[in-house]
Structure 1
Amino acid sequence: MKKIIFIVNYLTLDEEGGNSRFLYLAKKMLKKYDDLEIEIITSNFLHSKKTFRYDKEKNITIEDKNLKITFLSTIGYEQNISLKRILSNKVFARSVFRYLKKMKDKDELPNLIYFSVPSLEYGAEIIDFSKQNNIFTIADIQDIWPEAFEMVSPFPEMVNKVLFFNSRRLSKKIYSQVDYTVAVSNTYGKIVDKYRKMNSHTKVVYLGSDFRKFDKYFNKKNETNDVIRFTYVGTLGHSYDLNHVLDAFSIVKNLKKKIELHIFGDGPLKESLEKKTKELEIEDIVTFYGRLPYLELVNKLGEMDVAINPIRDGAAQSIINKVGDYAAAGLPVINTQENLEYRNLVDSWHIGINTFNNTDGLKNAIIEIIGKSKSELKLMGENNRLLGESLFDRRITYDDLAKMIRKVVDMS
């Protein structure tokens, strides 16, 4: 038997409302190959809900095979950007090292370690341990740190260089020394490849969803002609500029066409956004749902007509989770994201409108959407679904990733 371990700090299980890339990939590998043993190592702190898990391990049966999930100790934190989160990452890294050392002592080392980035501390520990013990490694780049934090830091550039010096050192170490790299977008892949050997290129596989599973829970319910329902799905945080969205809706709310805005998600700015909604006197057309379990969210997307992707200027995001869900739901998109990778997809697939991340840009895009016929909006949505089936359906896009992992395992 060959053994793979996935090490993933931020893992949300299906029953916790998640749609994890790593859990899906582990299950796919077990179904596809009979000679694999797979374990997922994660934190006992659930990042998405800021709560602790109290089990030390969990076992899932996949076609008579066992998938073991191990929860390692760390400390919790309340804020995503905080010293306590940095400390939590360091504690988890030490827990990972101790666990790997125990595996070595028991002569149970894996053939491959597949790990997520971020966070960075345990990634660096994995690199050192794997080099010492001749274990192949694959890093799956989910976000670019410390760039993502620098974008929202209130400090001057010179201060940021000092604050994030260690993070930059760790990220370069991981990118340059890991055996193979995978990324969730071409944008991230190009950044990583700057630190790789000339003949080593990052494999890009968008996060995506299993569209067959998505379709089981998705039910298009909003067929009325008298209202257009706009939606945002995601974190209510500093990288996503919902303030301009609310300002735009306050301007266009009295147009002849009835409109609504439905916001799904939680985050540090939730209270201030709810307060702003009251100040703008648009509570009658704006609804906050909080963070829903993934399959419940999928069901609610069936009531929506148009999605909004309002990324703050300068943010580090590229191809993010929500755009795959918008594609699966067949929704036209209003996009303010500067990132050319997604803007080009919006234009080339004719799935919506690219605009500027300010109140006027969003206002004009909303008015343009309202002015389109039902058939025009339907065509944009159908185009987005086709885009999704081509680039975001995990049943298809993860096949090559599974083959890549198998190839590396066979080299061990």
Structure 2
Amino acid sequence: MNVWIVAVGEPLPIEQSNERLLRAGIFSKMLAARGHQVTWWTSTFLHMKKRHLFDSDRVVEVEPGVRMRLLHGLAYDSNVSLRRLIDHWIIGRKFAGQAASEPRPDLILCSFPTIELSLEAVKYGRRESVPVVLDVRDLWPDIFVALAPRGLRSLVRLVLAPYFSMTRRAFEGASTVVAINEGFVDWGVKRAGRMRTSRDRAFPMGYPDVEPSEGAITIAGKFWNDLGVAGDGVFKAIFVGNIGRQFEFEPIVEVARRMACEPVQFIICGTGNFSETLLRLSKELPNILLPGWVGSDEIWTLMRMSQVGLAPYHAEESFTHSLPNKALEYFSAGLPMISSLPGALQTLLETAQCGVTYANRDADALEAALRRLLFDPDLRQRLGDNARALFKSQFSAAHVYSEMIDHLETLLAAKSAPT
């Protein structure tokens, strides 16, 4: 197959040698390993780091079978901003203009959102008779209505009416809906105005289970040692991800303050809009370490030096219905998880017995969960073993995305079969 992947906002394999790849990055490599040709359409703007990788459109050959078409748009500092909306419009228009210069693909897999790119991919697919699979990652624009104050939701929905219209048109024109969970598949099919079929399937986020080289682990270990990460005998609670509005870091800071004289260290990795505020809140706390953005080798090593992974999510609808990639990352290392997210993740932590959920904004409950794992190593070991077993059986990227490639190959074979 000649496959186009259309996805923005993910880490790119050309940023640095050990960049932590997510769904599109991992999937493109696995497609190429199967012998397929991949063109990944994305943006030059690094959403997580809030900066451009290039100052103009680029075409980059990543590896045999994988090339990237990077479209230059508008930089933005805030995830909720007019500049971001303008950027999405620019990238959508650029895709529409440049797609015609590329060899026609056999299939397009497009992440939703963004709304604009999804609609343009569907328009191209309809015009060129190319099947388009929309992969639902988030419930745009519904989520923006849900986040608005109750009394303003009707007004917000009215303002966003063009985006609701574009979303409906995108799903109506898509050949198939896949998503990171069953609820998101149903949501997409409902927007398409049709019944769900066997073509519409859920594939959870997958996480790679690849151990770095011995040399890379040694270098990463020295990196953490030089930064002051404590060795054995100190309970290390870690967070890896975007330091943004979707997380509640204040309870972590409060608990760190309470436990400042105890053998507990909090390592919070990442960058984002809340980074400066978090730095200010924690500047007098020696048991909080903020190393900034780190690579995949450092993440792999840190998780295996630590005792628990933190997931301090706000209880937003787009999170409560899904399993965040952060959970799979922690599970891959056999790390018990302490989460503030109700819904699907809480149910999984309870049924698989691999973590603890505390109430949003409740520092007392977070402290109690931490102390429970701190003083009960047998419980910690049991939860960690369960987490690792769950990952291997359900969330390994090799397993999840192999099934997803099989599904796409089946869809294309069915389209090509004589009638």
TM-score normalised per structure 2: 0.86
1:191 corresponds to which of 187, 203, 224 = 187
Q: Residue 147 of structure 1 contacts residue 316 of structure 1 at CA under 8 Å; is this kept in 2?
A: no
Q: Residue 311 of structure 2 contacts residue 339 of structure 2 at CA under 8 Å; is this kept in 1?
A: yes
Instruction: Output the amino acid matched with 2:73.
Output: T
Q: Residue 237 of structure 2 contacts residue 307 of structure 2 at CA under 8 Å; is this kept in 1?
A: yes
Residues of 2 paired with 1:44 and 1:28: CA distance?
Answer: 23
Q: Identify which range, 383-392 or 356-365, moves more after superposition.
A: 356-365
2:27 paired residue number? 25
Instruction: Output the amino acid matched with 2:9.
Output: Y
By how many angstroms is 1:214 displaced? 6.2
Residues of 2 paired with 1:371 and 1:239: CA distance?
Answer: 30
By how many angstroms is 1:268 displaced? 0.8
Matched, 1:125 2:116: no
1:200 paired residue number? 197
Instruction: Output the amino acid matched with 1:234.
Output: G
User: Does the residue aligned with 1:334 lie in a helix, a strand or coil?
Assistant: strand
Q: Give the paired residue count.
A: 395
Residues of 1 paired with 2:203 and 2:310: CA distance?
Answer: 23
1:270 paired residue number? 275
Q: Which runs of 4+ in 1 moved over 6 A?
A: 214-223
User: Does the residue aligned with 2:69 lie in a helix, a strand or coil?
Assistant: strand
Q: CA RMSD in A?
A: 2.5
Q: Residue 151 of structure 1 contacts residue 316 of structure 1 at CA under 8 Å; is this kept in 2?
A: no
Q: Residue 3 of structure 2 contacts residue 107 of structure 2 at CA under 8 Å; is this kept in 1?
A: yes
Residues of 2 paired with 1:233 and 1:12: CA distance?
Answer: 14
2:131 paired residue number? 136
Q: Residue 260 of structure 2 contacts residue 286 of structure 2 at CA under 8 Å; is this kept in 1?
A: no
**Structure 1 residues 372-401: Cα deviation after superposition (integer angstroms, max 9, x where no partner):** 1x2221121111111111122111111110
Instruction: Output the amino acid matched with 2:137.
Output: Q
1:308 paired residue number? 310
By how many angstroms is 1:153 displaced? 4.9
Q: Identify which range, 135-144 or 85-94, moves more after superposition.
A: 135-144
Q: Residue 78 of structure 2 contacts residue 84 of structure 2 at CA under 8 Å; is this kept in 1?
A: yes
By how many angstroms is 1:249 displaced? 2.8
By how many angstroms is 1:215 displaced? 8.7
Q: 1:368 to 1:190 in 2, by over 3 A?
A: farther
2:296 paired residue number? 294
Q: Identify which range, 8-17 or 114-123, moves more after superposition.
A: 8-17
1:399 corresponds to which of 381, 399, 402 = 402
User: Does the residue aligned with 1:266 lie in a helix, a strand or coil?
Assistant: coil
By how many angstroms is 1:150 displaced? 4.3
Matched, 1:145 2:145: no
**Structure 1 residues 88-143: Cα deviation after superposition (integer angstroms, max 9, x where no partner):** 0000000110112334xxxx321211111111111111212211221101111122
User: Does the residue aligned with 1:211 lie in a helix, a strand or coil?
Assistant: coil
Q: Residue 78 of structure 2 contacts residue 273 of structure 2 at CA under 8 Å; is this kept in 1?
A: yes
Q: Residue 242 of structure 2 contacts residue 271 of structure 2 at CA under 8 Å; is this kept in 1?
A: yes
Residues of 2 paired with 1:198 and 1:80: CA distance?
Answer: 33
Residues of 1 paired with 2:296 and 2:155: CA distance?
Answer: 38
List gaps (5 residues or longer) in structure 2.
222-228
**Structure 1 residues 271-296: Cα deviation after superposition (integer angstroms, max 9, x where no partner):** 11221224xx4x21111111212332
By how many angstroms is 1:251 displaced? 3.0
**Structure 1 residues 302-340: Cα deviation after superposition (integer angstroms, max 9, x where no partner):** 22111111111235222112111100111111111012x
By how many angstroms is 1:402 displaced? 0.7
Matched, 1:324 2:324: no
By how many angstroms is 1:43 displaced? 1.6
**Structure 1 residues 240-288: Cα deviation after superposition (integer angstroms, max 9, x where no partner):** 111122223323444xx5211110111111111221224xx4x211111
Residues of 2 paired with 1:67 and 1:198: CA distance?
Answer: 35
By how many angstroms is 1:213 displaced? 4.2
Matched, 1:344 2:347: yes
Q: Residue 230 of structure 2 contacts residue 265 of structure 2 at CA under 8 Å; is this kept in 1?
A: no
Q: Residue 123 of structure 2 contacts residue 173 of structure 2 at CA under 8 Å; is this kept in 1?
A: no
List gaps (5 residues or longer) in structure 1.
none
Instruction: Output the amino acid matched with 1:144.
Output: L
2:60 paired residue number? 58
1:162 paired residue number? 158
Matched, 1:229 2:236: yes
Residues of 2 paired with 1:45 and 1:250: CA distance?
Answer: 37
Q: Identify which range, 122-131 or 22-31, moves more after superposition.
A: 22-31
TM-score normalised per structure 1: 0.88
1:212 paired residue number? 210
Instruction: Output the amino acid matched with 2:39.
Output: E
